[in-house]
Amino acid sequence: MELTEARQSGVDLAAPGGIERIRLEDGLGRVLAEGLTARHDVPRESRSRLDGFAMMSSDTSRTSPRGRVALRILPELLAAGHGSDLEILPGECARILTGAPVPRGADAVAPQEKTVREGDRLFLDYPLAAGDGVTVPGEEIRRGDEVVFRGEVLTPTRLALIAALGYAGIPVYRKPRVALLATGDEVREPGQPLEGPWTFCNNRLLLGWLVQQQGGDPVHLGVEPDDAGAIAGRLEHVDADVVITTGGIGRGDKDMILDAWQRLGVTVIFRHIRLSPGKNTALGVRGKQIFWAFPGNPWAGQLLFQELVAPVLWRFQGLEKRHAISITARLESSLKKTRGLCKVVRGQLDVHSIPAAFVPAGGKSGPLGPVLKTSPGYVVLESSVAEVERGSTIEVRLVDFPLVAFLLFGRWEA
C-alpha cells in the first residue's frame, strides 16, 4: 500500500471524540469544540490610553504655536477600576490614569508630559482631535463577534482573547487515549540491568512523548516478550482509542503481533507499506479501536507516527483537515532511489540561509546519532520519484513540534 493510502485508511477510521468542558487555565494546546463569541464590547466603555488629562477637544482648537489654552483642573482623580459621575464642562479637565473610564463630556486625553500644570490650572499649546488618547468601546473586540472558532488549536494568545471575553470554562474535544506496548525478548526498561544481549526500550517512550505533543494522552503498557498470548492478554481490555505496538511485525519466527491480533479479533486493514524505512507496518481495527503495529526501530517509528498516527489524532480532536508541518528548502545534494518505493530521508536543515538548505544524511556511511540530535527535518520521496537533483526546491517535514506550532508552520491539505 502507498503511504498516502495508508494515511487515509487510518484517518477514515477516526472521528471527532466527545466534547468536555475544562477550565480556561488548562486549555493550552487543546482544540476548541465550539466557536466563542464576545458577550460584550472590549473595552465596554471609552478608556484612557495613557496617564494625562481628560478634556473636551473643542477647548483646544484655539491653541497655536504662539499661544496656549488654560483649563481648570477638577479635584477628582480618575483611575482604572473606579467608576465616576464626573462630567467635564467647557474650560475644565480632570487628571486621568491609563485604563480609567473617560468621564462624560470629555472626548480626548492629553498626555501629562505634553502639558504644563500650575496649581489648579493646566496649560496646553497644541490642539487635540476627538478620540486622541482614547480607546473607544469595541475597539479591540465588538459584541457578537465570533473571536475564536471551532477547530482552532488554543495558543496562549487565543486563550488570552478568550479570557478577555470573560469565559472561565471552555468546550474542547476530548483528548484521544493512545495505548503503547513495546514487544521483544531483548527489550528492557530504562533503569533495569543490561547484562545480556538486550536493549533499552526507548521506542515506546519516544512514541509517548510524540502522542503528548499532538494532543493525546499516552497509556504506557510496558514491555511484553515475543509471545502472542502475553501480548493479546495485555491488550485485551485496554481502554484506548488507538493502540500502538512496536516490534514483532516482521516475517520472522518471533514476530507475533498478527497472531496476537487474531486472538483479539482485530481485523487487518493492511500489513505492508511501500515505504523505507517502515515497510513492515500494519493497521487494524477492533470495534472503535484503531490498532497500529510498527517495527521496533525507534527512528522508523518516529517517522511512521508523524506520517500515519498524528493525522489520526488530529481527526479525533476535531481538526477537519490534515496539517503537514513543513518548510520549503533548497536540496544541497542529489537524492536517488528505486522508483515504486516511497523513501524517507533525514538530514540537516539550515534555516539561517536564504532560502533554507537541506543536507541529506549520509545513510549507512555515518552515525545516525548526531543527525537525530540536531536535525528537525526529513524529506519524503514519493514512489513515482527516482531522483531529485541538487538545487531543487523541496518540502522538508518537521519533527518534534507540538500541535500549537501548526499555527506557524502548518499547511492545510485537501
Same domain, 163 and 29: yes
Please check whether residue 140 lies inside any domain of the structure. no
- Among candidate residues 227, 210, 226, the one with its CA nearest the CA of residue 218: 210
Q: 268 is written with which cell numbers?
A: 487487518
The predicted-structure confidence for 168-198, as pLDDT tens digits, reads as follows: 999 999 999 999 999 887 787 787 777 777 6
Same domain, 192 and 114: no
Same domain, 338 and 401: yes
Please check whether residue 241 lies inside any domain of the structure. yes
Same domain, 341 and 225: no
Question: In the prediction, which pLDDT does 311 show?
Answer: 93
Same domain, 216 and 311: yes
Same domain, 301 and 288: yes
Task: Calculate mean pLDDT across residues 360-377.
Answer: 68
Same domain, 119 and 150: no
Cα 150 to chain centroid distance, Å, stands at 14
Number of domains the chain is built from: 4
Please check whether residue 414 lies inside any domain of the structure. no
Same domain, 10 and 24: no
Same domain, 159 and 198: no
Q: 239 is written with which cell numbers?
A: 481502554
Identify the CATH number of the domain in which residue 350 sits.
2.40.340.10
The predicted-structure confidence for 221-263, as pLDDT tens digits, reads as follows: 998 998 999 999 999 999 999 999 999 888 877 779 999 999 9
Task: Calculate mean pLDDT across residues 118-133.
Answer: 94
Please check whether residue 53 lies inside any domain of the structure. yes
Contact 252, 259 (CB under 8 A): no
Same domain, 247 and 158: no
Greatest Cα pair distance, the chain, in angstroms, is 99
Same domain, 232 and 285: yes
- Among candidate residues 324, 398, 386, the one with its CA nearest the CA of residue 356: 398
Phi and psi at residue 80, to the nearest 5°: -60, 140
Same domain, 273 and 331: no
Range of the domain at 154: 19-39+146-173
